[in-house]
Homo-oligomer: A and B are copies of this chain.
């Protein structure tokens, strides 16, 4: 199915609708903005089930760019938040999509288009709008507040865990034997322990991701990212986009712009980087962003550098790990020079995945940076503290108590922990073999899309039952069944209507020096929404769009 016309798709158990622009060659209308829809949607609003009747011959011409007089229909859909979108007027929908696409283009809510050469290398070529949800995802106020409140506790927890070198080494010792990547990180960590390297200025830019369990409405943590937390820039823009759309169309869809929380992710991250730079206390030093060779999400990063420059007059340089290796130099006092420039803060937007280290050169670079006096975001300890194995260890009884004193805070953290077990927990493994649909098997290695669901959980567990070391490469996690809601997902200029599930990420910033904590804050949020796969009933790989939330 190509860009430029309208059609119905059906997956195994659900249908979806694509709305897009009709090119003149198809319908012989010299009209760039006329659109059609082939389907009529009927949502049963009392349940999560919906059906779409496809009538592929009934092209209803929609006007795109057509103005809507908001006053005329002000009394429509004023109650039932998020219910109104089910029977949204197709003209209105098309107009909203068009306006949203324009908004993205004018306001830098863009990514590189992989079909265009150099789009991940040269800025300003091969751009397209970032994929987004047309409307924010409904989210209960209480759980939102809960997620926000947790962030500062997690920030503090990560810092304390990072200081306990033995805890990190011990907990990851079995993983080390089966996971080469974690092993290399641990090697660097060991070297730092040996030379008694102290990180006096510690900067964490984290993102803690959650889902809401459909049945219990519990807020459950999916993971805590301590390296390369992405989308502080584009995420803020999506919140702005949604506020803007609801300012214009809110009355029509029964949603109030004021219920989209303000998003401070970008300024929060920029300010933390700026303050870390200030702590380093060398006006000539720069912030170095460690980047991948090709990066189609470069604009998210450029937003951060731009705001850092605007708000703190701090200059950013961008270097790959290979460049850091070839251009990097450590002065006797620990100062890191890269290409002759003194580096105050190293901000990693690469280095979190094994593929970022194709040769020894990249590991050399990582070690060089770790040995330096530059502020690392993250340090090797912060990086390790964010691994899934550590997450699972922290969920064990009495482990949080090792790092935190406040009983109330410990209780709050524990409340958001999903069930997490290692594969040497016979009770958990037995249950997962019996009811694999209630579990997810997560490999230690980073990068989504590797999780194992359903019958594959049983098969994999059986394979690993010989007590092999390989067990340590996985953790077992409670399967979360989030609420699936009808959603308009917009990608490549096409609006696609489908059932989707959302993941809420809360950004956190933490900065301290030898004496005191300078920053410990919840800094904005990110929602990613994906089409829910009927096979899995969980998170489907791919087709994630950026989103924001609507407080209910």
- In the assembled complex, A195 has its CB within 8 A of some CB on chain B: no
**Residue of B whose beta carbon sits closest to that of A327:** B63
- In the assembled complex, A299 has its CB within 8 A of some CB on chain B: yes
> A103 to chain B: which residues have CB within 8 Å?
306
- In the assembled complex, A23 has its CB within 8 A of some CB on chain B: yes
Query: How many residues belonging to A are interface residues under a CB distance threshold of 8 Å?
Result: 74
- In the assembled complex, A60 has its CB within 8 A of some CB on chain B: no
Query: Would you call B23 and A118 a contact (CB within 8 A)?
Result: yes
- In the assembled complex, A120 has its CB within 8 A of some CB on chain B: yes
Q: Give chain B nearest CB distance to A237 CB in angstroms.
A: 10
Chief secondary structure at chain A's binding surface: loop
**Residue of B whose beta carbon sits closest to that of A321:** B30
Q: In whole angstroms, what is the CA distance A123 to B128 when docked?
A: 9
Query: Would you call A104 and B121 a contact (CB within 8 A)?
Result: no
Q: Give chain B nearest CB distance to A371 CB in angstroms.
A: 22
Q: In whole angstroms, what is the CA distance A316 to B323 when docked?
A: 49
At the interface with chain B, which of A108-116, A164-172, A397-405, A443-451?
A108-116
Quick one: CB contact mask for A28-49 with B, threshold 8 Å, 1 for yes?
Answer: 0111111000000000000000
Q: In whole angstroms, what is the CA distance A107 to B107 when docked?
A: 6
Query: Would you call B492 and A125 a contact (CB within 8 A)?
Result: yes
Q: In whole angstroms, what is the CA distance A115 to B119 when docked?
A: 13
Q: Give chain B nearest CB distance to A185 CB in angstroms.
A: 20
Q: In whole angstroms, what is the CA distance A3 to B121 when docked?
A: 11
**Residue of B whose beta carbon sits closest to that of A107:** B108
Query: Would you call B3 and A117 a contact (CB within 8 A)?
Result: yes
> A67 to chain B: which residues have CB within 8 Å?
286, 315-317, 341
> A4 to chain B: which residues have CB within 8 Å?
117-118, 121-122
Q: Which of B116, B118, B123 contacts A102 (CB 8 A)?
A: B123
Query: Would you call B122 and A105 a contact (CB within 8 A)?
Result: no
- In the assembled complex, A69 has its CB within 8 A of some CB on chain B: yes
> A293 to chain B: which residues have CB within 8 Å?
24, 30-32
In chain A, residues 304-326, which have Cβ atoms closer than 8 Å to a Cβ of chain B? 305-306, 309, 315-320, 322-323
Q: In whole angstroms, what is the CA distance A341 to B63 when docked?
A: 12
Q: Which of B115, B116, B121 contacts A23 (CB 8 A)?
A: B121
> A492 to chain B: which residues have CB within 8 Å?
125
Q: In whole angstroms, what is the CA distance A135 to B232 when docked?
A: 31
- 3 shortest interchain CB distances as A-B pairs: A124-B129, A67-B315, A106-B108
